[in-house]
Structure 1
Amino acid sequence: MAKIKVTLVKSFHGCKKDQIATVAALGLKKIRDEKTHEDCPQIRGMVTKIKHLVKVEEI
């Protein structure tokens, strides 16, 4: 299965609580944090929810 790299590029302060929880669930804590995840529908849905805060690259 393919993998994606998710990078936090903007601050999540001032966002809704569910968006902050999504950032935490992806394992991102600070700006420029990167995490690698399997490319599955659940992760893609989480990324879509916070697409204005992250950058996604396929590996």
Structure 2
Amino acid sequence: MATIKIKQVKSAINRPKDQKRTIEALGFRKLNQVIEKEATPQILGMVKKVSHMIEIIE
């Protein structure tokens, strides 16, 4: 499968609990961290849910 690189650019402080849990489930530990995930439908749905706090790196 294809992989995508995701970078967290905004903090999860003062966000709803479900968005905080989604950021944690994606594997983010700190701001500006870049992670690489497989582009499964589940991961893409999580990315869409918190798209305002992350950016996709090509």
Q: Is the shorter-chain TM-score for this pair beyond 0.5, marking a shared fold? A: yes
The structure 1 segments of at least 4 consecutive aligned residues displaced by more than 3 Å after TM superposition are: none
Distance 2:41 2:15 in 1: 23
Please name the residue that 2:27 is paired with: 27
Residues matched between the structures, number: 58
Q: Normalising to structure 2: TM-score of the pair?
A: 0.94
Task: Mark the runs of 5 or more structure 1 residues left unpaired by the alignment.
Answer: none
CA RMSD of aligned residues (A): 0.8
Please name the residue that 1:42 is paired with: 42
Distance 2:53 2:18 in 1: 13
Task: Mark the runs of 5 or more structure 2 residues left unpaired by the alignment.
Answer: none
1:11 maps onto 2:28 in alignment: no
